[in-house]
């Protein structure tokens, strides 16, 4: 049975919902799953003023948690087509893990959210995947076996590099059922690959 960590940063709750769907899919594949978030960097007053979602139940991760998992799936919103500073700050602390190869050969994955269709979904995924590769993880995306990413009858997220959602510039759009299905598919796929490698 693979042990999977879904590690995320979510300012407004969109990535939190996607993280729950990733975890659901991984559990469907028989994995043991933990969902953890990275620390917030802005003050509570600033977060409240910006209407951040402050009631997230997931515990805050520690860098030293990461080696205990067979697979690590990282999700974040986007900032100018790249990962958020909160996620970057967390990953920037993994140097000691990198130095000793603590994550070499583990399975990795990425998922993301942007305000618009063209707001940097794939570049944000690649900014996460770059970190995964530097840390020695084997990235697993969202293959076209998930047909939902090929839909033309609705605006939808999703890419072969990972599950995504579109939030709208005011955060009013929540992940669609198709986007959540893509996240569940990716979570299940990552858990299946990790089980083949480590199970």
Confidence of residue 75 (pLDDT cuts 50, 70, 90): very high
Number of domains the chain is built from: 1
CATH at 34 = 3.40.50.360
Residue 56, both tokens? 């997230």
Residues that constitute the known binding site for substrate: 98
Residues that constitute the known binding site: 10-15, 78-80, 98, 134
Q: pTM here?
A: 0.97
In order of 24, 134, 172, 191, the CA distances from 157 in angstroms are 19, 26, 15, 21
Residue-range definition of the domain harbouring residue 171: 3-198
- Per-residue model confidence as pLDDT tens digits over 96-154: 999 999 999 999 999 999 999 999 999 999 999 999 999 999 999 999 999 999 999 99
In the chain, what percentage of residues exceed pLDDT 70?
A: 100
Residues that constitute the known binding site for NAD(+): 12
From CA 52, how far away is CA 10, in angstroms rounded?
8
């Amino acid at each position: 049975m693979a042990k999977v960590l879904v590690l995320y940063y979510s300012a407004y709750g969109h990535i939190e919902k996607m993280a729950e769907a990733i975890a659901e899919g991984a559990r469907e594949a028989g994995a043991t799953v933990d969902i953890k978030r990275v620390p917030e960097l802005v003050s509570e007053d600033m977060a409240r003023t910006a209407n951040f979602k402050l009631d997230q139940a997931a515990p805050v991760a520690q860098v030293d948690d990461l080696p205990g998992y067979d697979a690590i799936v990282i999700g974040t919103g986007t900032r100018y087509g790249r990962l958020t500073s909160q996620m970057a700050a967390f990953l920037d602390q993994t140097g000691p893990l990198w130095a000793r190869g603590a994550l070499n050969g583990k399975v990795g994955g990425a998922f993301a959210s942007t305000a618009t269709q063209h707001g940097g979904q794939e570049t944000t995924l690649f900014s996460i995947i770059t970190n995964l590769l530097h840390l020695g993880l084997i990235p697993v995306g969202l293959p076209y076996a998930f047909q939902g990413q090929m839909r033309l009858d609705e605006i939808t997220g999703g890419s072969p590099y990972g599950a995504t959602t579109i939030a709208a510039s005011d955060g009013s759009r929540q992940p669609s059922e198709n986007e959540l299905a893509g996240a569940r598919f990716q979570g299940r796929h990552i858990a299946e690959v990790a089980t083949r490698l480590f199970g």
